[in-house]
Structure 1
């Protein structure tokens, strides 16, 4: 990743129609909206169909990943992502629920935020606790990144050699540790 302007990866997802448009159109429109917020879109993965997570929580998703560049800080970028989500009808009602648009800041260069101890706590949080708790601050890299084919497979299209600053594995190496059926379920549109 170039150091001229800090790079970040944003995961995009949607599984509900919005204003008569399907999720793939929403993702494309969200990318356009991000570029109007002083965010440079460097590259975008293919769009993928992915099973709803958690299973049974609603229709399947369309997911993608975008490599972006910005002069904003990670917390400022997160605020922009939330503003764009709101513009596209996102309501934060249920954790891991259905949504018109989900924009997650997955990584920002190789930063570990807010600090290693807090990151480690969220990294090792049991699944049941993950469903109940949401962090009150930005945690980077996203603490569930290595567990989610629907994030890693799109990332492999654009930053396959990005190395997790804590786990020490590249995107491709993290994909190899996931169950093959989960990876195979993420299919390009």
Structure 2
């Protein structure tokens, strides 16, 4: 990775952090990453389309991370960057306590920074696909049926059953099922979700 790549990555980080730079909050600010149901529907349809195999191999995982987590691509193609909140204990002067200090002058503050992560392979590996489900809809599992000639999958939580999704590969069906629910219930996903 050359100097121009590093400069480009720093510029991306600075742009993402601009609304939060130097800000400390007593309460976590609202998550600026908004789910667009139309974009989610288009992603799901493209994932399930038999004609989108080249896109699924090259761009789909990034577009999923971009639409759900607000991820941006780093210079290293396997890396993405996204916003995350952190906590710090400080006094009114911005100083954090030493390990042996404590007192009423120190308060818990929130701030927003960026995290760099390896892009998960949601569509080819059941681990990242299951992780996506757990991060977006905690407590949900899925029913999977495999019969001669077809496979199908649906999300399930007690009496809340999603529609059956049929396709050729289990992780792809799971991601499509997650996107289907996300399209219907974007308000249910946690704020400040992490990749």
Q: Using structure 1 for the length normalisation, give the TM-score.
A: 0.26
The structure carrying a bigger strand percent of its residues is: 2
Structure exhibiting the larger radius of gyration computed from Cα positions: 2
Higher relative contact order (CA 8 A, sep 6+): 1
